[in-house]
Amino acid sequence: MMMVHPPFETLRKKGFDILFLSHARSILDGEFSDALHELEHVLSAIELPISEIIGSGGGETQFTQRLRRALAHLGWKKHIFEIGKTIDGVPRESSSHEVDHVKRYDGVGVLALEIEWNNKDPFYDRDLENFKRLHAEGAISVGIIITRGRSLQESLWNAVHRFAMERSIDTMERLAETGVTPTPKQRANILKRVQRAKDPVPLTIAWTDNFVSNKFGQATTHWDKLMHRVDRGVGNPCPLLLIGLPASIVVFDAAKVEPLSEEDAADGSEAV
């Protein structure tokens, strides 16, 4: 008997979080096997340089842009769904729903995909409710979300601290030379811990704490926050494929961090 491998076996081995909901696995396995191969091909090849984690601001990271381009190259393009209803020829209701990546498979159906790398976590509610409405209208077969996985979220502090140690970031001046400029409030919070008389904290630790809590805190989009939504039934009964990016995609490169714009540097909540 021929062995049938589960979907995304290669991704699972790399530590990706994979969750199928509301019969999404049987739908994708049975009708959209090409889509599964496309997604596995794209995601198996991605890498996330530590310099881009540090340089990420309020806008999209280079990593996210590369992932979007790879999907777009395979036909996963941005699309606005226009839904209108009429009664006896009279328009009564209309709505539009924009999705960043949509692909139509002729004679089969439509898949919709959103990437939530580092947004505010209420964006999950928007995505899931959007998928639910589109599925109810027969516009899509399955909704897909790609986000930070559990292992990546849990490893971010260690990854950022390793960056600080490898780059010898032991002063604010050295931090600036690396291309990182905290906001005045962030700088004050860091130096307060570093310069206090009792139990001072090394700058590598104080900055790492501040950076991670500001940019990748619990109120941002990551696997556990997504699970809280689906456990409550948000998006149900739309079939869903949820993919969490793992810690294994992070690579420790030696590239200089691109300085953030003032707008990006000020983005996000301030750590205390």
For 100-155, the pLDDT digits (tens) are: 999 999 989 999 999 999 999 999 999 999 999 999 999 999 999 999 999 999 99
Contact 137, 145 (CB under 8 A): no
Share the mean pLDDT of the chain. 90
Higher-confidence position of 70 and 254: 70
Predicted confidence at residue 66, as pLDDT, reads 95
**Distance between CA 48 and CA 190 in Å, rounded?**
26
User: In degrees rounded to 5, what are phi and psi of residue 109?
Assistant: 160, -165
Residues 6 or more apart in contact with residue 17 via CB below 8 angstroms: 149, 150, 151, 223, 242, 243, 244, 246
pTM: 0.90
User: In degrees rounded to 5, what are phi and psi of residue 170?
Assistant: -115, 0
Token pair of 183 as six digits: 């906001």
Partners of 90 in beta bridges = 87
Q: Kindly state the percentage of the chain with pLDDT values over 70.
A: 91
Q: Which domains does the chain have, with CATH numbers?
A: 11-253 (3.40.91.20)
Which amino acid is residue 76, in one-letter code? W
Contact 24, 237 (CB under 8 A): no
**Distance between CA 135 and CA 236 in Å, rounded?**
10
Q: How far apart are the first and last CA of the chain?
A: 60
For 178-199, the pLDDT digits (tens) are: 989 899 999 999 999 999 999 9
Asked whether residue 262 carries a pLDDT value surpassing 90, the answer given is: no
